[in-house]
Structures are given as C-alpha cells and as structure tokens.
Amino acid sequence: MKAPSSYARIYATVRRIPKGRVASYGQVAALAGLPQQARQVGYALAALRRADRGVPWQRVVNARGEISARGEPGAEDLQRLLLEREGVRFDAAGCIDLARHGWRAPERQGRAAPDRHQRGQVRGVARTRSSKGKLSK
C-alpha cells in the first residue's frame, strides 16, 4: 500500500478544520506529519484548483492570525469574505483572535507536534520547559 503524498495529507488535515475555526500553516504541517514545513502547506494550498471545493483552504492563516498575501489578485479579500461568512471575526488590524477562532485538533493515535504558538514560541521568543515543567526563555 502506497503512503499518501504530502499534499494529500495536507488536504486531509485542512478538511478536518471545522467551519468558523482557523489553523496556522505550521499547525497544519505538524498535524499532517510534516513538522517544520509550513511553507509546504502554502504550496499545497496554492496548487488547489478553484473547482476543488472539498478543501476549505480559507481556514488556513499565518501564525499571527493574519491572511497571507497571495499571487492571485483579490485572493486575500475572498479569503476574508469566506471566513467572515463562517463567523470568524477580524480586529481593526485585520487579525483573527486565535484564542477565540483557532482550531484545537483532537488528539489522534499519535500526538502531533504543536505549532509554535502552542509550545510558547511567539513573535521570536523561544521558550522551553525545564525538567520541573517551568517555562524559561
């Protein structure tokens, strides 16, 4: 039996994101078994055809909760419109509150690697846990 391609795993993961929720490129990569390959998620979503409506590509945003720029004119506006129709709200700066709208994937057989927000590395500040479970910079 042939293993699914990385794009197929990415698409399967994106299909799991519920309506009204978003996930980061890094989170999708980790859940698809492709840790540290957020850019690969972007390539996979860019390769989708308009006719492929089974993959809710609009639910994937960057780690800051922003819509990433695309090469296709108007794509960012379309993504925002689709997300707003699903109930996702944007602040005045165009950011999504990931605490409110971020998807927390249920654990499956194995535990996927968390994205950088979940492990405490936000805006360039890396944090690690000591052997006693305390966070440190």
Instruction: Classify residue 79: in a domain, yes or no.
Output: yes
Among 29, 36, 24, 42, CA closest to 104: 24
Q: What is the domain-level CATH number for residue 29? A: 1.10.10.10
The pTM assigned to this predicted structure is 0.74
pLDDT band at 3 (very low <50, low <70, confident <90, very high): low
| Separation CA 96–CA 127 (nearest Å) | 23
Range of the domain at 16: 6-103
Residue 51 domain flag = yes
Q: Is residue 135 part of a domain?
A: no
The least confident of 15-24, 45-54, 89-98, 117-126 is 117-126
Count the domains in the chain: 1
Residue 82, in any domain of the structure: yes
Position 137 in a domain: no
pLDDT, tens digit (0-9, with 9 covering 90-100), for 28-40: 999 999 999 999 9
